[in-house]
Amino acid sequence: MTAPTMSPAESMTIEERVLTALQCRQPDRVPVFTFIDPYTETHFLQDPSYADVLEACVDYADVAHNWFFPAGIFCSDAQVPEESRQLPDGRTEHIYHTPKGPLTSITRADWRGSGTLKRQISEPEDVERYLSVPYVPQRPDVSGFFRDRETLAGKCVTQLVFEDPICIAGYVDEMQMAVWTLEHRDLIIELLEARCERILDQLRYCLEHGMGPLYYFNGPEYALPPLMSPADFEEFVVQYDSRLIKLVHSYPGTYTIIHSHGRVSRFLESFAGMGTDGLNVLEPPPIGDTILADAKMRIGDRVCLIGNIQYDDLARGSEEQVERLVKDAIEQGATGGGFILAPCAKPYESPLPPKASRNLVHYLRMAHQYGRY
């Protein structure tokens, strides 16, 4: 594959291009993400079916290199004894022995590798058990982050990935969480407060070490309808994520991106009100409900829009359809800057079907063709 010829107008580095878009300004061209790191993501590098896509990412993509804060279920370095035991029918029980008693989950392998049948928190007393684990500040070795940032300078922009407080919902049985929004709201708040304080401490540690420039938060989709109400979203997401974003922005040269699947259209102003610099994935109908042109009109002067091509459309359409998806998204989102073209998910197949490989390469080429200002 021959690398594209850089025009005189295409003069920014990847980091400059992405950060300019996150400031809702116009870079030299529309940045384009794939959510693939062709330099360090082992599962892609070791899969021959991704070879052409990885090469195209090097040539065309604005790569984001991720560093994941090793938070774990308790967001604490406290030593919590764990054990697993096999149950009938291929199920596995996982047990955390907390100071107030055991927390258990049950999994059974499925097509993803490990499907969850029971989550750790399913009864009110499980909240007490969870919170009985003492908070021991997490202080991971960050030298690898700086080695990667130096090695990959000019090839990518680096971002730190965190769960936000509402990700505690990932450890609570879904039906219980829905019931607790009505019957045990105090327990949800107690969990969120504890998680938020611990995440704030994690962030301070990274920020004080000069890590960045991007901070990427996952989780708001847990609190979107139909799982929760709009009032729940304001109380369980906006209130807490605003605190995280405010802390990140108190350190110069840092930016935030909020990641949320789901039907986010009615919450766009809430996301903007949090102060985030970027929002993805902005899923279009029928899976989501976000029309990119509408989002641009409503919050595009305050938030960089990141999206909004459904991965399945990208992977399974014709090349003509891929070209149309890219062109339409750029036409709707790119005017004046503040837009990053991206799929709504990263590739998940192994091996990657040949058609999906060709289409991903075509997506990147079309992004360069139509993405020039």
At residue 6, the pLDDT reads 41
pLDDT of 110 higher than 90: no
pLDDT of 111 higher than 70: no
User: Does pTM surpass 0.75?
Assistant: yes
Average pLDDT over residues 186-210: 98
CB 54 within 8 A of CB 37: no
Average pLDDT over residues 136-145: 97
b or e along 162-181 (b: 16 or more beta carbons within 10 Å of the residue's beta carbon)?
bbbbbbbbbbbbeebbbebb
CB 34 within 8 A of CB 61: yes
Cis, bond preceding 8 (omega within 30 deg of 0): no
Q: What angle is formed at CA 309 by the lines to CA 307 and CA 312, rounded to 5 degrees?
A: 140
Q: What is the pLDDT of residues 294-326, one digit of tens each?
A: 999 999 999 999 999 999 999 999 999 999 999
pLDDT of 5 higher than 70: no
pLDDT classification of 173: cutoffs 50, 70, 90 = confident
pLDDT of 84 higher than 90: yes
At residue 114, the pLDDT reads 66
At residue 4, the pLDDT reads 38
Q: What is the pLDDT of residues 206-263, one digit of tens each?
A: 999 999 999 999 999 999 998 899 999 999 999 999 999 999 999 999 999 999 999 9
CA distances from 181 to 137, 167, 174, 196 (A): 29, 15, 11, 18
pLDDT of 265 higher than 60: yes
How far, in Å, CA of 321 to CA of 332, rounded? 16
For 14-74+136-370, the fitting CATH number among 3.40.30.10, 3.40.50.1580, 1.10.3710.10, 3.20.20.210 is 3.20.20.210
Annotated domain spans of the chain: 14-74+136-370, 82-129
At residue 112, the pLDDT reads 59
At residue 290, the pLDDT reads 97
At residue 9, the pLDDT reads 54
CB 251 within 8 A of CB 211: no
Average pLDDT over residues 99-126: 88
Hey, is 372 helix, strand or coil? Answer: strand
